[in-house]
Each structure stands twice: as C-alpha cells, then as structure tokens.
Amino acid sequence: MSEKPYLHIKNLKINFKSFEGEKTIINIDEIKINKGEAYGIIGESGTGKTVLALSILQLLEMPPGKIVNGQILLEGEDLLKKTQKQMQREIRGKKISMIFQDPMSTLNPVFTVGEQMIKVIIENQKLNKKEAYRKAVEMINIVKLPDAERVMDKYPHELSGGQRQRVIIALALSCGAEFIIADEPTRNLDVTIQAGILKLIKELQRNLKVTVLFIANNPGLISATCDNAGVLYKGEIIEKGTTKEILKNPQHPYTFTLLNAIPKNKDTKIDLSKVIPPNDGEEIKEGCIYYNRCLKKQENCKKEQKLINVKDTHYVKCSLYKEGVNNEQ
Ligand SMILES: Nc1ncnc2c1ncn2[C@@H]1O[C@H](COP(=O)(O)OP(=O)(O)OP(=O)(O)O)[C@@H](O)[C@H]1O
Ligand code: SF4
Ligand SMILES: [Mg+2]
C-alpha cells in the first residue's frame, strides 16, 4: 500500500491516572486508514475503543487521561498538536464527526430535529436560515428517513432508536464532515434496524466517499461494512489486515478464539468476555498483552512483541510468527 494514509496513528500511548497509579489504556503501534475507506476496530468491552475515538478528536478528559506519546496524523497534520480552539474551528464537525452509541447523548431533547440541524448548519456553513432548512431536509433524505419535512418538526423522543441514529448521521454529514467515527452506533438497536444503519453507513462511504472508522464490539458487524480492520485487545492492536483476512483467516490466538465463538446465526448477540480463556493469574511485566489468557504461550512470549507481516496485508502481534516468512497458519 503506497498510498499516503488519510489518518495515520503512530506509536500512540495513552495512560489513565488513578489512585493506584498510572495505567496504560492505549498502546497502538500503527493504524493507517486510507481516504474513502471504512476501517473497523473490533474488541470487547473496556478494551479502549471509545478512548481511542475520543483521543482522535481531542475529546478525552485530561486528566485523568494523559497522552504519553504518539501522533495522530490527519492528512499529515498531527491532531494532537492542535489547540482545543483549532480542533473546534477546523476539525470537529467540519472534517471529523463522531456518532456515539447512544443518540440521546448527541440530541437535545428540548429542540426539534429541524431546530438542531439548522443551528448546526448555520454555525458551520455560511448559509441563511432558509438555505439551512433546505440543507437539513436534503441531509434527512440522504439518510433515507421518509417524509423529511415531518421529521424536521419532531422532537427526539418522538423518533425510534433507529430513526434517531439516522438523524445523528444526517447531523454528522450536514457540516461537511468527510470522516465519520462511528462508535458502536448500532449497539442498542435491534437486529433488523441495526442492519439498516450498517447498510446506510456503507452506502454513504461508497456514494459520498466518506472515510469511516467503525468501532464494534461484535466482529460480525464489520464484515458487511469495512474494507480493513484491526483487533484491539487491552489497548493494543494485536492483529490487522483486510476484513477478509481477519474474519476468514484469523491468526492471533485471541482473534481465533473470538471468531470461533461467534454463533453461525449472525443475529445472535455474544458476550465476548465469556468466550476467551480465563486469566490464569500469571503476570508478566513486559511481553504479550494476551499472555495470561493464552493457551499457546511459550517462553518467547515474555519478550516485547511486534506486529509481524504474516502474508500480504495481514499483520499479527504474536511470537508464534516470524517476520518475512509466509507463515499464515
Ligand atoms: N475517565 C476515565 N478515567 C479512568 N479510566 C477510564 C476513563 N475512561 C475510560 N477508562 C478506562 O479505559 C478503558 C477503556 O475504556 P473504553 O471506554 O475506551 O472501552 P470500550 O472498548 O469503548 O468499551 P465498551 O465496548 O464497553 O464501550 C477501561 O478500562 C476504562 O475503565
Ligand atoms: S505471543 Fe505468546 S502468549 Fe501472546 S498470543 Fe502469541 S502465543 Fe499467545
Ligand atoms: Mg465504548
């Protein structure tokens, strides 16, 4: 892949301070997302997905959060070097918008959808009220909510969960954002509604050439949505590649266990924390992050692990593999 990435995360380390001291929450060697692609991050609850998403937008609360080192380059410019003012003026909403798993955390219950959309559009684009209204209707149509003018007059509580999530996507796009971070946007929705939102995200990526970072707890959700993906475990990317490489041919013992545990019926929800082996209590200070759960561990695993290219665009962070050898199993 010689193309210069649109978003390039390099050596990102984020700690959280607590009474017990500092704990590393994110320790990512590298993630590259190309312009116009949908990139998936999968990982179980508490693994750092939201912390990662918030850090891209500099929305992480600091303290307790602390960026220890690293870069988050958007088209070559380090977002971590920008001031809050610059992030507000140039990046949030204008270039990058975030869709949270709970739409009510974004929508204000006391204003109609139309009032909220028009306000955001006027704040971000040089349009008068009438033009902003037209733009808002256009965006509601784009997210395929029927009867857009009626939707404009509704309060958030008058919409279903799926409709609210579509409004959020319309809001995210209405300021011209070209990069959407979708943090488990379908987690609280039932399966059919979930499928509709995933389809919509995929269509927006294809038709509007929006770049998407799609975060999911359930690996099954990325198959229809994402081109490439990374598996996050305790803040580290332990495997990455094309979605097909990850889902069809997982190599890291954690990903392998995880994917084999997914029910064949993709509509069944799984609790990822219940499918991986239990912590055997053996702590190591350095080395593999999965060590105390891994059933394949060996002495080598106590050394620092690096992402190793196992085949084509497929990378794994595990001592069972050797760099430069086609050793996909
Ligand atoms: N403000 C905070 N202060 C201290 N620790 C935090 C804070 N926010 C998150 N953490 C810790 O960081 C880790 C990652 O949390 P994060 O919310 O990113 O997980 P997640 O992968 O998004 O989980 P979920 O799938 O449940 O949304 C967790 O261990 C969490 O306890
Ligand atoms: S490095 Fe070792 S402990 Fe870690 S996943 Fe690979 S085999 Fe298991
Ligand atoms: Mg989260």
User: Please, what is the end-to-end C-alpha distance for the chain in angstroms?
Assistant: 23
318 touches ligand 2 (CB under 6 Å): yes
Measured from the Cα of 288, ligand 2's closest atom is 4
* Nearest-angstrom CA–CA distance, 322 and 309: 8
The protein residue with its alpha carbon nearest to ligand 2, atom 6, reads: 318
pLDDT of residue 193: 86
Give the Å distance between the CA of 326 and the centre of ligand 3. Answer: 35
**Residue 125 CA to ligand 3 centre (angstroms):** 30
pLDDT of 139 higher than 80: yes
Looking at the CA of 41, name the nearest ligand: 1
Task: Tell me the pLDDT tens digit for each residue of 188-218.
Answer: 788 888 888 999 999 999 998 999 999 998 8
Residue nearest (by alpha carbon) to ligand 1 atom 29: 46
293 CA to centre of ligand 2 in angstroms: 9
| Per-residue confidence (pLDDT) for residue 265, from 0 to 100 | 60
Q: Determine whether the shortest distance from the Cβ of 290 to ligand 2 is under 6 A.
A: yes
Residue 267 has pLDDT above 70, yes or no: no
Contact call for residues 295 and 313 (beta carbons, < 8 A): no
Q: 2 falls in which pLDDT band (50, 70, 90)?
A: low
Does the CB atom of residue 174 touch ligand 2 within 6 A? no
Ligand 2 contacts CB of residue 293 (under 6 A): no
User: Residue 43: how many CA atoms within 13 Å on its side-chain side?
Assistant: 27
Report the range of poorest mean pLDDT among 12-16, 122-126, 202-206, 251-255: 122-126
Q: How far apart are CA 291 and CA 301, in angstroms?
A: 7
Which residues in 178-198 are b (16+ Cβ under 10 Å) and which e?
A: bbbbbbbbbbebeeebbbebb
Q: Over the chain, what is the mean pLDDT?
A: 90
Two structure tokens written together for 226: 């994402």
Residue range 290-319: mean pLDDT, rounded:
94
Confidence band of 18 (pLDDT split at 50, 70, 90):
confident
CB 25 less than 6 A from any atom of ligand 1:
yes
Of the residues 28, 41, 49, which should be mutated to test ligand 1's pocket, given the most ligand atoms within 8 Å of the CB? 49
Closest residue (by CA) to atom 1 of ligand 2? 318
d(C-alpha 9, C-alpha 202), whole Å: 23
Q: Give CA–CA dist 251/257, Å, rounded.
A: 10
The atom number, within ligand 2, closest to the CA of 290 reads: 4
61 Cβ inside 6 Å of ligand 1? yes
Q: Relative to the CA of 44, which ligand 1 atom is closest?
A: 25
What's the confidence (pLDDT) of residue 64? 93
> Is residue 291 lining ligand 2, measured as CB closer than 6 Å?
yes
Minimum mean pLDDT range among 148-157, 302-311, 318-327? 318-327
Half-sphere exposure of 44 (CA within 13 A, CB side): 16
Distances in whole angstroms, Cα of residue 172 to Cα of each of 92, 119, 190, 198, 201: 10, 13, 22, 15, 12
pLDDT tier at 76, thresholds 50, 70, 90? very high
Query: Which residue, among 306, 304, 282, 307, has the nearest Cα to 293 in the 3D structure?
Result: 282
Q: Which residue's entry shows tokens 């996909």? A: 328
